[in-house]
Amino acid sequence: MPELARIVITGVGLAAPNGSSLAEFRASLLAGRSGVAPWEIRHVGKTLAGVCSFDALRYQSKKELRRGTRAGSVAVYCANEAVRDAGLDLASYDPGRIGVFPGITEHGNVETENEIHEVSRYGFDLSFWSHHHNPRTVANNPAGEVTLNLGLKGPAYCLGGACAAGNLGLIHGAQLLRLGEIDLALGGGVSESIRTFGIFASFAAEGALARHDDPARASRPFDKARNGIVVAEGGCLFALERLEDAERRGARIYGELLGHCVTSDGTDFVLPDSAGQNACIRGALKSAGLAPHQIDLVSTHATSTPSGDAVEARVVREVFGDGPSTYVNNTKSFIGHAMGAAGALELAGNLPSFDDGIVHPTINVDELDPICEIKNLVTNVPLHAGRVDRILNMSFGMLGINSAVVVGRHPARSQ
């Protein structure tokens, strides 16, 4: 294949349940601060969720918030924060050559449930149905709200990839940059999942919704007492550029996208497939031209379900074996499962390892389940690895979609 343009991350904008900036998010991950809290939602009642507290009015008016969606609001916040963090002057770009690619698990359920609830109060008289419903529920809404907010004219659409979607937005943005179709990409993932009662009811019906007296301890991947998913909202969009463009403007570079892979299991609606996950991880390594032992940090997808975590732990053992310096961690233990935003948030939380050499832990591992044993799984307290040069971030979703990205330290970064 011809040599492809090198793609780098120059900005990070995020909203997580335990932080509204990368610095705040990272500090929470190193301090063991959870973002899971009590949550009450229509028809379900009291439950637990990862709830964000970013300032939605920082970049939007109250009128814009009323007209738009929660996912759109998350995307607008993250996009503006990524642009600011990257030190970008959007006025110096052709607005038609800036792309917006948020990954999503689903979109429109929140608004549909709300509209049905509203008309139910008036005997289902549809004259009370909002005329904003259609633009709120189209699948490209979060991306479109970003273009409206920033005045962008380039390609903008969402990548529906279930819980693997956060990586898809990053991958797709990189691909269009390599093709020369755009000059700047805002890619990652967003989720409004905690605003829909349907997702809680569905996980509860599956027996997959987490329960714990202490909300902060409910999300516990790999722990013997894990009992399900904590649903979370959030988002993370990365500013992506071609390396030569970033270097030309003297940008700070968080890391370089070295490789990626997206696969499908083709086996089941919801059950994970170890062969498919294994193939995806190995595909990303091949894309990056790396052997497993050359990865310093593996960011796992594990959602705290009994079967899912066990399958993933087996895959990590199969691929990475007994590598002496490949560390493994999990971010959902802090924030729950942010669905379409999960992969992007998890990568973002680990990027600072290139600078500080610290691997944030997986918290709430009181008793590691023997079936989930992984060599060098970092638990409960941060680990000073000394140096982290390459991170593999993996995400898996319903209908058997798998995604993995490999990001490396850029030579300009030093410790």
Catalytic positions, please? 163, 301, 337
Neighbours of 306 (CB within 10 A): 15
Distance CA 319, CA 391 (A): 14
Distance CA 386, CA 296 (A): 11
Distance CA 364, CA 368 (A): 10
274-288 and 306-320 helices cross at what angle (nearest 10)?
40
**Beta strands of 243-381 (E only): which ranges?**
255-264, 297-299, 327-329, 358-359
Q: What is the DSSP code (8-state) at residue 329?
A: E
The answer to whether residues 237 and 13 touch, using CB atoms and an 8 Å cutoff, is yes
Radius of gyration of the chain (CA): 20
- From the number of C-beta atoms within 10 Å of its C-beta (0-12, 13-18, 19+), residue 353 rates as buried
Q: Which residues contact 86 (CB under 8 A, 6 or more apart)?
A: 10, 11, 239, 241, 251, 252
The answer to whether residues 44 and 200 touch, using CB atoms and an 8 Å cutoff, is yes
Distance CA 146, CA 136 (A): 13
Secondary structure (DSSP) of 27-67: HHHHHT---EEEEEETTTEEEEEE-----GGGTS-HHHHHH
The answer to whether residues 230 and 48 touch, using CB atoms and an 8 Å cutoff, is yes
- Residue 71, classed as helix, strand or coil, is helix
Distance CA 225, CA 227 (A): 6
List residues bridging with 35 in a β-sheet: none
Distance CA 207, CA 190 (A): 25
HSE-CB at 102 with a 13 A cutoff on CA atoms is: 38
